Chain A
Amino acid sequence: MTGDALLFGLSGVLSSSAPILFGVLGETISERAGVSNLAMNGMILLSAMGGFAASLATGSLALGFLAGAAIGAAVALVVAFASISLRQSQVAVGYVLAMLCRDLAYFLGNPIMGMPGPRLNLAPIPALSSIPILGTLLFRHDIVTYSSFLLIILSWFYMERTKPGIMLKGLGENPRAAYVRGADVNRLRYLYTVSGGAIAGLAGPIYSLSVKAGWKGTISGLDGIGWIILSITIFGGWRPFRAAMGAYFFSFLQWLGLVLQPLMPNVPSQVLQVAPFPLMILTLLLVNIGNAEWVERSLSHLPESVRRDIARVLGALNATPPAALGQPFDKDE
């Protein structure tokens, strides 16, 4: 492989990560507030189809993205209503919605299947894009990829550096304590679930108007991405930068699958296409293995100095979910 091909490949990894980033960061926001939105997979399919349809009908890309965000927000609103107001299981509601939205996307998308439609153009940033290597890698993308870079920084800044952001984390950690400190817990949970849904909903049109432009029904290749997004949210330890690393790692594995295909003619192409998924799960397991008791026990036989270092590394990798994730809140209980 030449250097240029490698560079273009990596640049492609960054842009194909954009929708995953939107999904993961949207879900991270929602889960930080204490609501897990498991409808993700169906929601992305529906917003991909809806976003494409909207921009096909109006000729406006902006309206396409808007439609995607609106669909994401609407699905999240159902999850929020069922779990916050009706106090029902987020898992059950999320799963059902995931299936419903997927089938709805295929059914409603039938008339526009395979139609040529609008597509987002590349927007290389003048001057910066001509920097050697970095220019190609970072500054020859379309606007959604740039936005995805920005989203990582913004969501990190919000959660770590602003008061409402710290409160957001408090909501999912100890809603009772958040309430005592002046938060209207359930209203804020609505707010964050719906806005998290809107952000994740953008992942759909980012696929159908940019990364995998068009709507091809069941062969769009989008089915399953929502589940991976949910697992990357966990891998990311509910922290924006780590979540971003997870998203890039997954896209990198997918790209590797494509690159390796011609080099490994004996391996069926399906294996390489599917491999990133189990690899991702395996990574997830390895990263979080530090909290298992048997690991702790087997480590205790190692010499003190080695044990300390390993414990520190595992401790840093280890991610604990928001303590009140999935639990409804009522101040009177």
Chain B
Amino acid sequence: MTIELQNISKRFGALKANDSISLTVPPGCIQGILGENGAGKSTLMKIFSGFLRPDSGELRFDGKTVRIHSPDDAIRLGIGMLHQDPLDFPPFRVIDDFILGSPGGLIPDRRRALSDFNSLSARFGFNLSAEARVASLTVGERQQLEILRLLWLGAKVLILDEPTTGISQAQKEKLFATLRTLADQGMTVFFVSHKLKDVEALCGRAAVLRQGVLAGSMERPFDKAALVRMMFGKEVKLAAKSGVPPGKKVLTVKTGALDSIRLRIKDVNLEVRAGEVVGIAGMEGSGQDLFLRACGGLVEPSGGQFCLDETETPMNGKTYHDYMRQGVAYLPAARLEKGLISGLSLAEHFTLSVKPRGTFIDKKAAATLSKARIAAFNIKGRPDSPVESLSGGNQQRALLSLLPEKASLLLVEHPTRGLDIESTIYIWGKLRERCASGTAILFISSDLDEILRYSDKVLVFFAGKVTPLIAAESLNVQKLGELIGGMGWDAFKGNGDA
């Protein structure tokens, strides 16, 4: 199906989210839609998939004007959208999730649905069990389920909104292979992303949105520098490694052991020194999150010693507050759920973050403080903006700005998950500044490039097993990917071997 978007405009109050955007995409094409957060990508795709109605402009399929009033209309016209947060039902069985929303009578034809599901699944080499609970699947598998469902409903156009956030390298490759197969069969694929690298790897064409306007488009082979200029309207450079010489020990773990109902980690030994950046890699649920929280006193280790300074006094049995007093700070992945307090404004957060002097709020001091912090961290928001109204990148900046000025060890979960390039660079710039002043950083990421680019040393988790610290220079994406998948572990016998 040839898709034409003609002069699509959409306003939200004073904000022009989409300003007269036109785009024609032939069948069999994988069209990348690039742009930083807030560029209008999501609005355009929501219009396309029936969530929003444009103020003006029209959609044409094979030359015919169509009106889409709801997502339900969209799928009947053959447009399927894969949302960034999987729109599925975690407690359901896979097959029930698959069936829900399909046309037909009162009683679903389970046998047919099941055989269709299995044959579709086999066609793409997906390994999904129809009887498993959706909640037990990884994000990547939930995407696979949703793709199968949309294909089953007869989607001829597939829109994917930031699909590579939160899935593993292997799953990403599988997803790309699937999309290529679909495009070869004549399907049109819209791949919405802020990750230049993914668009480069997958798409035949790319259109760039900036501040609601189509800033330009390009066909393969892509001129990367030109795409970046289109995205930001200026040149952006990635930072190199910090190169801070390591200082005194800030974290020592000796024969550390952790237990949860699902996982048992044993015999972790490591030393982290001031100024070092340690990246922690592993598939989600391999124990890395547990370990990171144990380093901050948020999880009680079941054995071994966790020490925070040169004297190597074990901190076992102490609480997060004791760790905090020793200079440890923890930045959770769920920013809004665990890091910030929804409903409170930026100014209120800043007021809470400084040591309380008395019970009452000094409004004047609070105002000065918030203005200074907002300027220093380049947060797009006002002191009275509620934190939940900020974009992801600005929430992460706010979290960073709330950290105590003197920290010896930062524990960060997914520092840039879901953020655009500019925010990513900014966040890492700030983290770097910290390293230069002697803070060590321990971070978890599912983005292998991020781990390799920013860490001095790398720690890999696989099903409760842990490697010793590996120098980042000795690794590449492929080797790291293998370790995450459980291959090439023989070299590390002795550490973390259960």
Report A's interface with B, CB cutoff 8 A.
161-164, 166-167, 169-170, 173-174, 176-183, 296-297, 299-301, 307, 311, 320, 323, 331-332
The 5 closest A-B pairs by CB, nearest first: A181-B101, A182-B72, A177-B87, A300-B259, A180-B71
Q: In the complex, what distance in Å separates the CA atom of A164 from the CA atom of B92?
A: 15
A-B contact pairs, 18 of them (CB 8 A): A162-B107, A162-B108, A163-B99, A166-B99, A166-B108, A174-B89, A177-B88, A177-B89, A180-B72, A180-B83, A181-B101, A182-B71, A296-B260, A296-B261, A299-B261, A300-B260, A300-B264, A301-B259
Q: In the complex, what distance in Å separates the CA atom of A169 from the CA atom of B90?
A: 11
B340-374: contact bitstring with A at CB < 8 Å (1 yes, 0 no)? 00000000000000000000000000000000000
Residue from B83, B91, B100, B264 in contact with A163 in the complex, judged by beta carbons closer than 8 Å: B100
Residue from B70, B71, B106, B302 in contact with A164 in the complex, judged by beta carbons closer than 8 Å: B106
**Which residues of the other chain, B, contact A180 by a CB distance below 8 angstroms?**
71-72, 81, 83, 87, 101
| B4: interface (CB < 8 Å) | no
Q: In the complex, what distance in Å separates the CA atom of A299 from the CA atom of B262?
A: 11
Which B-chain residue is minimally distant from A320 (CB atoms)? B91
A166 with B100, Cβ < 8 A, contacts A179-B71, A180-B71, A301-B259 known: yes
A161 with B51, Cβ < 8 A, contacts A166-B96, A170-B89, A181-B100 known: no
**Which residues of the other chain, B, contact A320 by a CB distance below 8 angstroms?**
91
Q: In the complex, what distance in Å separates the CA atom of A174 from the CA atom of B264?
A: 33
- Nearest-Cβ distance from residue A112 to partner chain B, whole angstroms: 42
Q: In the complex, what distance in Å separates the CA atom of A297 from the CA atom of B294?
A: 14
**Which residues of the other chain, B, contact A331 by a CB distance below 8 angstroms?**
51
Q: In the complex, what distance in Å separates the CA atom of A180 from the CA atom of B261?
A: 36
- Nearest-Cβ distance from residue B413 to partner chain A, whole angstroms: 18
Which B-chain residue is minimally distant from A296 (CB atoms)? B261
- Nearest-Cβ distance from residue B157 to partner chain A, whole angstroms: 15
Q: Is the CB of A174 within 8 A of B87?
A: yes
Which of B81, B90, B104 counts the most chain A CB atoms within 10 A? B90
Q: In the complex, what distance in Å separates the CA atom of A177 from the CA atom of B87?
A: 5
Q: In the complex, what distance in Å separates the CA atom of A331 from the CA atom of B92?
A: 22
Q: Is the CB of A173 within 8 A of B261?
A: no
**Which residues of the other chain, A, contact B83 by a CB distance below 8 angstroms?**
180
- Nearest-Cβ distance from residue B139 to partner chain A, whole angstroms: 15
Q: Is the CB of B302 within 8 A of A300?
A: yes
Residue from B81, B87, B89, B102 in contact with A169 in the complex, judged by beta carbons closer than 8 Å: B89
**Which residues of the other chain, A, contact B99 by a CB distance below 8 angstroms?**
163, 166
* Secondary structure call for the B interface: loop
**Which residues of the other chain, B, contact A296 by a CB distance below 8 angstroms?**
260-261
**Which residues of the other chain, A, contact B75 by a CB distance below 8 angstroms?**
182
Q: Is the CB of A300 within 8 A of B261?
A: yes
Q: Is the CB of B100 within 8 A of A170?
A: yes
| B300: interface (CB < 8 Å) | yes
B: interface residue count bin:
20 to 34
Report B's interface with A, CB cutoff 8 A.
51-52, 70-72, 75, 81, 83, 87-92, 96, 99-102, 104-108, 259-261, 264, 300, 302
Q: Is the CB of A173 within 8 A of B90?
A: yes
Which B-chain residue is minimally distant from A238 (CB atoms)? B91
Which B-chain residue is minimally distant from A182 (CB atoms)? B72
Which B-chain residue is minimally distant from A179 (CB atoms)? B71
**Which residues of the other chain, A, contact B102 by a CB distance below 8 angstroms?**
163
A163 with B259, Cβ < 8 A, contacts A177-B87, A179-B71 known: no
Q: Is the CB of A163 within 8 A of B300?
A: no
**Which residues of the other chain, A, contact B259 by a CB distance below 8 angstroms?**
297, 300-301
**Which residues of the other chain, A, contact B300 by a CB distance below 8 angstroms?**
297
Q: In the complex, what distance in Å separates the CA atom of A323 from the CA atom of B134?
A: 14
A181 with B72, Cβ < 8 A, contacts A174-B87, A174-B89, A307-B261 known: yes
- Nearest-Cβ distance from residue B452 to partner chain A, whole angstroms: 34
- Nearest-Cβ distance from residue B27 to partner chain A, whole angstroms: 24
Which A-chain residue is minimally distant from B103 (CB atoms)? A182
Q: In the complex, what distance in Å separates the CA atom of A147 from the CA atom of B99?
A: 30
Residue from A181, A182, A183, A323 in contact with B90 in the complex, judged by beta carbons closer than 8 Å: A323
Q: Is the CB of B91 within 8 A of A173?
A: yes
Which A-chain residue is minimally distant from B74 (CB atoms)? A180
Q: In the complex, what distance in Å separates the CA atom of A320 from the CA atom of B92?
A: 12
**Which residues of the other chain, A, contact B107 by a CB distance below 8 angstroms?**
161-163
Q: In the complex, what distance in Å separates the CA atom of A178 from the CA atom of B71?
A: 10
Which A-chain residue is minimally distant from B261 (CB atoms)? A296
Q: In the complex, what distance in Å separates the CA atom of A164 from the CA atom of B106?
A: 7
Q: In the complex, what distance in Å separates the CA atom of A180 from the CA atom of B91?
A: 18
Q: In the complex, what distance in Å separates the CA atom of A296 from the CA atom of B259?
A: 9
**Which residues of the other chain, B, contact A179 by a CB distance below 8 angstroms?**
70-71
A176 with B261, Cβ < 8 A, contacts A163-B100, A181-B100, A300-B302 known: no
Which B-chain residue is minimally distant from A314 (CB atoms)? B261
Q: In the complex, what distance in Å separates the CA atom of A163 from the CA atom of B107?
A: 6
Q: Is the CB of A176 within 8 A of B87?
A: yes
Q: In the complex, what distance in Å separates the CA atom of A296 from the CA atom of B261?
A: 6
Q: In the complex, what distance in Å separates the CA atom of A299 from the CA atom of B302?
A: 12
**Which residues of the other chain, A, contact B260 by a CB distance below 8 angstroms?**
296-297, 300
Which B-chain residue is minimally distant from A174 (CB atoms)? B89
Q: In the complex, what distance in Å separates the CA atom of A323 from the CA atom of B107?
A: 25
Which A-chain residue is minimally distant from B88 (CB atoms)? A177
Q: In the complex, what distance in Å separates the CA atom of A84 from the CA atom of B473?
A: 57
Q: In the complex, what distance in Å separates the CA atom of A182 from the CA atom of B75?
A: 9
- Nearest-Cβ distance from residue A261 to partner chain B, whole angstroms: 43
A163 with B89, Cβ < 8 A, contacts A182-B72, A300-B302, A301-B259 known: no
Which B-chain residue is minimally distant from A307 (CB atoms)? B261
Which B-chain residue is minimally distant from A322 (CB atoms)? B91
Q: In the complex, what distance in Å separates the CA atom of A183 from the CA atom of B105?
A: 15
**Which residues of the other chain, A, contact B96 by a CB distance below 8 angstroms?**
166
**Which residues of the other chain, B, contact A174 by a CB distance below 8 angstroms?**
87-90
- Nearest-Cβ distance from residue A290 to partner chain B, whole angstroms: 9
A182 with B101, Cβ < 8 A, contacts A173-B89, A173-B91 known: yes
Q: In the complex, what distance in Å separates the CA atom of A181 from the CA atom of B88?
A: 10
A169 with B92, Cβ < 8 A, contacts A162-B106, A163-B106, A181-B72 known: yes
